[in-house]
Chains A and B, each alone.
Chain A
Amino acid sequence: MTGFWTQAIEVARKDLRTEMRTGEVFLITIPFGAVALMLIPLAVGTDTPLLRSIGPGMYWVVVLLFGVMVALRQSAVEAGPQQDLLSLLGIDPGAQFTGRAGATTALLLAFEVILGPVAMALYDPQPRGWPWIAALVVLVAIGLGLLGTLAATIAGSIASSALVPLLVAPLSVPILLAASQTMDGLRFGNTILGWVLLLVTMDLLLAVAGVLSARPLQEASR
């Protein structure tokens, strides 16, 4: 195999190809997320001003919780033989992590982009600052993709998949806070730079931690 990035791209393509075949995210997780967005108003009340104010927050909560399902999808969870094969092919563990996180990020981005109009239709949040929102969607997808992949790697195939949401949900609080506070900041004209920087810092930290821990964690599963 050639360089790090070529390997990472190949791993990501493999994951995305498997997702295309199974359609797990597009056929199951995204409709499930849309249903969740519909259920919330039924529980809290269908008062339009209330829904308008809580809409962005609810959208990010759904993205966070269902994002864990995207990270845990069957196509990303590889059993021992598949992992052994990748190792025998000489693929760098860091590249494996990067590829898997990249594929998860791409799927999360699709998840956010498809659910965005659903949330707009159901909650009518009237957001402002579209360029910032676009950047925010990308940064959140990267952060959750990295965090989900890292948590799944830490838990490993021997740990139960029920454990990963417990690991991801509390650690994703900075991402959730930054996302919802940025939306609020844009809406009320407050400064958002600090929150965007927090997101960028989280993404960088998670990327470094994921790549650095990939090899020891792979060895730990032997």
Chain B
Amino acid sequence: MTRSRFFEFAAVAAVAAALAVALGIGEERTMGNLARVLFVHVPSAWLAYLSFVVTLVGSGLYLRTKDLRWDRFAASSAEVGVFFTTLAIALGMIWGRSTWGVWWTWDARLVLTAVMLFVYLGYLALRRSIPDRLARARRSAWLGILGIVQIPLVHFSVVWWRTLHQQATIFNTEGMQMDWPFRSALFAGLAAYTLVYVVLMRRRIELARLEDRFEDLVAAEEREVAGEAVTAPRYEGSTELEIEETPPPARSRRAVVLALAIAAFLVAAVAVVSSQATSLSRWGWVAYAYTVAYVAMLTYVAWLAWRITVTRRRVEEVS
């Protein structure tokens, strides 16, 4: 078994175990079954923090070593962090609708988490707008360092402002405000999501490496040797490569159509469930939240796998 497969199996097993623990423990005294939503919401938020701290570390190490592997590491973690932040917000909105009666409220924690999401969306947008790899790495590294100011703001927002969002339960000055069955379910979720993060990171880094390889190959093809008088050696009968005009393979097109159909179905399903949300039971809310979390993770994993496949094929075509 390869290391990638090992992590994937471990992540699936851990998620299954965390689900079993989360659904197996008894009801919470005041919130009842709704408390089970926290076992996916809180780990998502923690993983968002972890991802952005890893982006900070990767950015710092890139600036220190100028090794592009650290740039790929930081960028991959930022993208995974954006995924977990979005998931944490979505699950928080489901929680809000089920307990407070609204999808969104102007609570400091909610608003600042959304702001943090936009900071790292800006980071990803910056990377896409700079074609030169070294300039991109250096510029985004500084933004990766600057963006970290959002994490303490988000984390301490519940302390600095009187918010609807509950105070810290784990890192509380009066000790952990949680009984051990709930604590075990929370930490099982945290461990499982951390393994999911590792799997996502490995895939995203592989994709980044392939994208860089593709860029290198295209650049090598386009580069003139000794000006225009001499051209790069080519195989007999070969012509200029037209990367942009190469039509995507039929399998890729089918995969895109399938992915779009699945996405449209999921959006429709979420819209239907959301419109009927007032009539959901507490277990219904729990099922809704867990479905959103697992479908989102599976979709992201599938999307990464598809991008890796397409990019690998493009690399093979060029090389």
Binding site for B on A (CB under 8 A): 150, 154-156, 158-160, 163, 166-167, 169-171, 173-174, 202, 205, 209, 213, 216-217, 219-221
Q: Which residue of B lies closest to A218 (CB)?
A: B138
Q: Evaluate contact between B143 and A209: CB separation under 8 angstroms.
A: no
Docked complex Cα distance between A160 and B99 (Å): 43
Q: Which residue of B lies closest to A206 (CB)?
A: B146
Interface centre among B130, B143, B146 (most CB of A within 10 A): B146
Tell me the smallest distance from the CB of B152 to a CB of chain A, in Å.
Answer: 10
Q: Which residues of B contact A156 (CB under 8 A)?
A: 130, 135, 139
Q: Evaluate contact between A173 and B129: CB separation under 8 angstroms.
A: no
Mostly helix, strand, loop or mixed at chain B's interface?
helix
Q: Which residues of B contact A219 (CB under 8 A)?
A: 138
Tell me the smallest distance from the CB of B155 to a CB of chain A, in Å.
Answer: 14
Q: Evaluate contact between A154 and B119: CB separation under 8 angstroms.
A: no
Q: Which residues of A contact B122 (CB under 8 A)?
A: 163, 166-167, 170
Interface centre among B131, B138, B153 (most CB of A within 10 A): B138
B149 in the interface, Cβ–Cβ < 8 Å? Answer: yes
In the complex, chain B residues 104-155 whose Cβ is within 8 Å of any chain A Cβ: 112, 115-116, 118-119, 121-122, 125-126, 129-132, 134-135, 138-139, 142-143, 145-147, 149-150, 153
Tell me the smallest distance from the CB of B122 to a CB of chain A, in Å.
Answer: 5
Q: Which residues of B contact A169 (CB under 8 A)?
A: 118
Tell me the smallest distance from the CB of B162 to a CB of chain A, in Å.
Answer: 12
Contact status of A209 and B139, CB under 8 A, knowing A166-B125, A171-B119:
no
B292 in the interface, Cβ–Cβ < 8 Å? Answer: no
Docked complex Cα distance between A170 and B126 (Å): 14
Tell me the smallest distance from the CB of B241 to a CB of chain A, in Å.
Answer: 25
Q: Evaluate contact between A174 and B149: CB separation under 8 angstroms.
A: yes
Q: Which residues of B contact A160 (CB under 8 A)?
A: 129
Tell me the smallest distance from the CB of A201 to a CB of chain B, in Å.
Answer: 10
Q: Which residues of A contact B149 (CB under 8 A)?
A: 171, 174, 202, 205
Docked complex Cα distance between A176 and B131 (Å): 33
Q: Evaluate contact between B121 and A158: CB separation under 8 angstroms.
A: no
Contact status of A170 and B129, CB under 8 A, knowing A154-B142, A220-B134:
no
List 14 additional contacts besides A159-B139, A166-B118, A202-B149; criterion CB under 8 Å: A150-B146, A154-B142, A156-B135, A158-B129, A158-B135, A163-B129, A167-B126, A170-B119, A170-B122, A205-B149, A209-B142, A216-B63, A220-B135, A221-B135
Q: Which residues of A contact B63 (CB under 8 A)?
A: 216
Q: Which residues of A contact B134 (CB under 8 A)?
A: 220
Q: Evaluate contact between A216 and B115: CB separation under 8 angstroms.
A: no
Q: Evaluate contact between B129 and A216: CB separation under 8 angstroms.
A: no
Q: Evaluate contact between B115 and A217: CB separation under 8 angstroms.
A: no
Tell me the smallest distance from the CB of A177 to a CB of chain B, in Å.
Answer: 8
Jot down 29 A-B pairs with beta carbons below 8 A, ordered by A. A154-B126, A154-B143, A155-B126, A156-B139, A158-B130, A158-B131, A158-B132, A159-B129, A159-B139, A160-B129, A163-B125, A163-B129, A167-B126, A169-B118, A170-B115, A170-B116, A170-B118, A170-B119, A170-B122, A170-B150, A173-B115, A205-B149, A209-B146, A213-B142, A216-B142, A217-B138, A217-B142, A220-B138, A220-B139
In the complex, chain B residues 85-118 whose Cβ is within 8 Å of any chain A Cβ: 112, 115-116, 118
Q: Which residue of B lies closest to A201 (CB)?
A: B149
Indicate which residue in B126, B135, B138, B145 contacts A163 across the interface (CB closer than 8 Å): B126
Docked complex Cα distance between A167 and B126 (Å): 8
Interface centre among A158, A167, A202, A217 (most CB of B within 10 A): A167
Q: Which residue of A lies closest to B119 (CB)?
A: A170
Q: Which residue of B lies closest to A150 (CB)?
A: B146
Q: Which residue of B lies closest to A205 (CB)?
A: B149
Q: Which residues of B contact A209 (CB under 8 A)?
A: 142, 145-146
Q: Which residue of A lies closest to B143 (CB)?
A: A154
Q: Which residues of A contact B130 (CB under 8 A)?
A: 156, 158-159
Contact status of A174 and B153, CB under 8 A, knowing A154-B126, A156-B130:
yes
Tell me the smallest distance from the CB of B62 to a CB of chain A, in Å.
Answer: 11
Tell me the smallest distance from the CB of B285 to a CB of chain A, in Å.
Answer: 30
Docked complex Cα distance between A171 and B126 (Å): 14
Tell me the smallest distance from the CB of B42 to a CB of chain A, in Å.
Answer: 23
Q: Which residue of A lies closest to B131 (CB)?
A: A158
